[in-house]
Structure 1
């Protein structure tokens, strides 16, 4: 009897993991909670502040982050691979060991997966090509929709509740008739996606649009200058107002490195790149600092963090929080 292929072993592990989801998910996402047939948690990869946008189905294992449409998957193996930043084979082996399944043969304590056949390799590569083509088609369709919505929107109202709460000016934002703000996301200088922000600060991207590598610019890069790279748009607007320097907003911690490297390639050594990192002091491992440090190292950039007053609450994490606290406008629990 022939040994199962690597994809088959991963599928089997995923099936077992789903049956053990009530055990595994609290271990992987310990600050989450069960809501109906979903496990709802913070996205620890991008330093999410509160639960709500990241959900895992207990019925199918499908998971996604509604605030980052590039973060999604179809089973718990891909979820662990995403959370740990590893490959699916490595994640499957970790689950196999955790559940004592014994699906992977072991030699001297190391997992020894079966050799991939030529037919399996060709089938896997064809499947990946097909996935990439479908993804590119979806990205193009979303970019077209983003351009349509951007053209029909008007300049953002300075009295919009979110802008007032963050104490920032609208800059280049636009606003739909229903009141939602539009934050432009660009790639190579072209609009490819939008982030929507409502009056309560809830955020989402256009479904199926490109997020990884995209950025929202504030100000223009001209000659020798300092360019700040940060996570959220309100943080970027605060930095731009206080320094007068151009800023690009990567929208989440997981995107900082990709954007920083893009800016380094585009502008070269003539521009001083500075990663303005979030300081997620209440999050395990401080993912904001980790992501900012990695981005700075990859792009040969400087990195700075907010300098907190001694009496500043630990829940403050970014430069907009610091601005609001110093000005007496910070409200506990605000988005």
Structure 2
């Protein structure tokens, strides 16, 4: 679909790409917007539209790692000069976008440090830890909320806040991609494990005795796995996936398998044999708690 309004056509292209319906400001600057499906208040989408000369633009999503282009003239009909101008616009927009992202990450990292500086070691009797039947393993606490540092390489990038009810929040604007939290107290085995959530990682660590890299979500498993492999090229790495059998496509298992294959690691999934699945369990924390309950009932 094409109209006589370049800004409208550009907006339609963003919508067709499944990224949302931002209000377009055609000033050539990079603007951010909330993508469809993102949390309220987040602005992972970005765009820049230029109307000087041949109208053209570029847009994408930081979260999804997507970058797409749009031009009022179809690719087949573009002149060599128009193609060159479009490439130049794209590169300019990418530079501006990347600088915005760096500035945002730096601001969030500074805020994360301020938050952590005001925390104390997590109370082992915090309601969330009691519910999950796990130990703190070095995480922090601020008021009633647990605070888990997120690090990219050796640098603090964000924090994950967990409330007593289990509600979780990441610091707005902080970098999560490639970020993790390492559980490495009282290590008894040489394997390196990678898991999604903190509770899952804590349960694995307590049961197996190996160090665990917490990736925080399934979409981050691959980035964390690549980081761990780069730091430990000869290590026996095991990616421990969530069994999201109750969700279409089982994203936990799918993402864990992809990460394991990518770095040449082993894949470990929960074994529910003999357990009651009425509560729709999915991760290793669920597994170990169900096993304890079954053992207690049998005693």
Whether 2:279 is the aligned partner of 1:307: answer: no
Give unmatched runs, 5+ long, in structure 2.
22-32, 48-58, 295-299
Does residue 150 of the first structure (1) align with residue 116 of the second (2)? yes
* Displacement of 1:268: 1.0
What aligned pairs does 1:1-335 form with structure 2 within 5 A after superposition?
10-14=10-14, 62-63=35-36, 65-66=38-39, 72-73=44-45, 82=64, 88=68, 115=78, 117-177=83-143, 179-219=144-184, 225-269=190-234, 271-313=235-277, 315-328=280-293
Shift of 1:238: 0.4
Distance 1:280 1:312, change over 3 A: same
On the 8 A contact 2:60/2:66 being kept in 1, the answer is: no
TM-score by length of 1: 0.68
Query: Would the alpha carbon gap of residues 285 and 113 (structure 1) be closer, same or farther in structure 2, given more than 3 Å must change?
Result: farther
Cα distance in 1 for residues equivalent to 2:104 and 2:41: 15
Q: Assess, with a 3 A threshold, how the Cα gap between structure 1 residues 87 and 308 changes in structure 2: closer, same or farther.
A: farther
Which segments of 5 or more consecutive residues in structure 1 lack a partner in the other structure? Answer: 22-59, 93-102, 106-111, 330-335
Classify 1:280/1:67 alpha carbon distance in 2 versus 1 (closer, same or farther; 3 Å). Answer: farther
- Cα deviation for residue 204 of structure 1 reads 0.7
For the Cα contact (< 8 Å) 2:275–2:290, is it kept in 1? no
TM-score (norm 2): 0.76
- 1 or 2 for the larger relative contact order (CA 8 Å, sep ≥6)? 1
Give the whole-Å Cα distance in 2 for the aligned partners of 1:8 and 1:121. Answer: 22
| Alignment RMSD (CA, Å) | 3.6
Conserved? CA contact 2:186–2:209, under 8 Å = no
